[in-house]
Chain A
Amino acid sequence: MSSKDLAISIRGISKAYTLVHNGLKSPSFREVVVDRLKHPFRKRETETFWALKDVSFDIKRGEVVGIIGRNGAGKSTLLKILSRIVEPTSGEAHLFGRVGSLLEVGTGFHQELTGRENIFLNGAILGMRREEISKQFDAIVDFAEVERFLDTPVKRYSSGMYVRLAFAVAAHLNPEILIVDEVLAVGDAQFQKKCMGKMGDVAKSGRTVLFVSHNMSAVEQLCNRIVWLSEGQLHCDSYAIETVAREYLFGGDGHDNTFWTAAEGEKGSEYFDLRRIAFESEDGSPLPRAVPNDQPMYLVIEGDVETLDSSLLIGYTVVNADGQTVYWSVHTDAGEDHAPPMTVGRNTLRTRIPSRFLNEGTYTIEVTACLHQRLWILEPGKSGPSITFSIAGGLSDSAYWYEHRAALTAPILRWESLTAEMADNRNRDRKF
């Protein structure tokens, strides 16, 4: 990545809030004074809450970054820091371009003012110059579809009109970096589609967009990168939108999902109807979400076959947190003669996940199924059923390398020493 393409560089941003426990919830001036006089030497009991802790990442120009995370994960705090509404407790953010941020639809709109007046007021609040607003005025009115009500106070607007107008002003801000908080949660489906289209246009014109949403389909549709915050820290930063979005939806953030079972009554393909995926130890007991790399791990795939087809291939992919597929295994890999036979009815397949091969990190296992070269039953990367597990520790027996390696995988391979004589013989062999 060339540094010229940098749009935002976030370097170790932290934000602490101090929670005061002194019995006074929201003190008035009098209460504070009285309290100080009563207890002049008492130290107030405080607790520091880190809304963000040491978050660092770079965003390239033209990237559309979806920021996801549970409530209280620090998403809004991060956007507020980047929008300069609050300042970080420590760390820096470098912004290479004009920032326009939309943390709420209709901030600064006033009920008593007309649509026209609100366009100019809201534009100014968002940092637009008057000439810019005048130039964009027709486009804004057009987008919001409120021409007839321009000189009506917005308090008489329907909520839909109100939201459309508010978004329209912000959408025509034309900043180099656009920061948008969960604003698509409002408005009807048609409006949301329109907003998505507009944001897509912004992204296509090469500008950088940061977009917070709980709506994974919106994130998948719009973003080409996903940043997942969890408890104020960077949980995952990836270009594999679908994988991460799915992991997020399936509760990979602190929830156990090392097994998956099909819903009762839900029926899949007649060739292979996946019923269960499980991540187990050798004796069939379920494994915890995080396992050391030297522990035996087994994947169990269970499914029903109604119509037996000889070209049926069952397999799985292992995708890391960056969205890279680490490997893809198919049940016939060892040769058709050695493959477990499939039968009509319930089939339970078990395969060993190689120990001491994966790197430290979180992985998603996705089951694949197809009729070879004819039909995808479960296609990888298409939001099919998946499970998630993590490798933590046990990467080697050496005292030096037991943590994450700067590599895709971390296999433990055999090393041997050649004597000088053996090396000589080999060299001679190669010559002739």
Chain B
Amino acid sequence: MQIVTDKATAAPEPLLIIKRPGVWSPFALGEIWSYRDLLWALAVRDVKLRYRQTALGVVWVVLQPLLAAGIMSFVFGIIANLPSDGLPYFLLSYTGMLGWQAFNGTLSKAGQCIVGNSQLVSKVYFPRLILPLSTVLSTLLDFVVGFALLLVLMGIYNVRPQASLLLLPVLLLFLIALAVGVGLWLSALMVTYRDLQYVIPYFTQLLMYASPVALTVSAVPTRFRVFFFLNPLTGLLEAFRWAIVGRGTVSGIAIAYSVVVTVLAFILGAFAFKRMERSFADVI
């Protein structure tokens, strides 16, 4: 036996040791970086597949928010006649939809990603975090197209971009981080509880009406605003619109609250995912 131990100490370091990790093992960020090509390949796959064999193709990326903004403007702007902070109502709805879709697109795709790729998860190893992260890239692509259209719309409505536009990437980052945080948690839970597939769309639809997407905070009666701001999306979306068109009811406290919730959601989501990912292949 002694000989065996001597050999073991003289052996070169193994490249990898497979064993059951402790509960709080660190994130292998370096490994995720080494799989960046897979991240990209999966994102490209998702984008290609979405519009392959569709007649209108990429036009859908533009058409979806346009139609949604159109119907919202009709209902909230014309029928309900809500205040618009002096903006054309369509532009208000469209900026709201742009921010909302960045959040909602990431959340719904990230939430589905593990179950949707169960074949991969049960047959190949890669850092599982790659799957939810890859959904972000396709959301970003949609955002770029939507943003280009926004610039066209602003030209049509003769609304000048403000210097605050420079803050937009930061706000976008927070919107997506919040979505990824919640999405990580949901995607891991969905492996065991498939019902979440049906619950999530319903829940996000409710959330949309509880957020300043097709309406502004100024349309909300003052006594309800505190509750409205409890939704972390409210601060982020209102600031998002403010960054583009320079109008909106934004307070430092609301932003700070949203940022704290986002950071917490992201960290907790990541750890929840980390804890649950170990058994994905066993359960899926």
Name A residues whose Cβ lies closer than 8 Å to a Cβ of B: 3-4, 6, 9, 17, 28-30, 32, 80-99, 101, 103-104, 107-108, 110, 112-113, 117, 120-121, 124-130
Contact = CB atoms under 8 A, between A and B. Distances in A.
B210 interface: no
Contact of B16 (A17, A95, A121): A95
A99 B121 CA distance: 17
A328 to B, nearest CB: 33
Contacts of A91: 19
Given A91-B19, A96-B15, A113 B120 contact: no
Interface of B: 7-8, 10-12, 14-21, 35, 37-38, 40-42, 44-45, 48-49, 52-53, 119-126, 193-196, 278, 281-282
Nearest to B9: A3
Contact of B37 (A4, A93, A124): A124
Contact of B11 (A4, A99, A103, A104): A4
B194 A28 contact: yes
Nearest to B190: A29
Contacts of A128: 37
A95 B283 CA distance: 25
Contacts of B52: 112
Contacts of B20: 87-90
A260 B237 CA distance: 80
B37 A129 contact: yes
A4 B45 CA distance: 41
A419 B19 CA distance: 59
A84 B278 contact: no
Contacts of B121: 85
Q: Which of the listed residues B7, B35, B52, B124 has the most CB atoms from chain A within 10 Å of its own CB?
A: B124
A269 B53 CA distance: 67
A108 B122 CA distance: 11
B18 A103 contact: no
A108 B124 CA distance: 9
Contacts of B35: 127
23 contacts: A3-B10, A3-B11, A9-B14, A28-B194, A82-B18, A83-B125, A87-B18, A88-B18, A88-B19, A89-B20, A94-B18, A95-B17, A101-B124, A107-B120, A107-B123, A108-B120, A108-B124, A121-B41, A121-B45, A124-B38, A125-B126, A127-B126, A129-B37
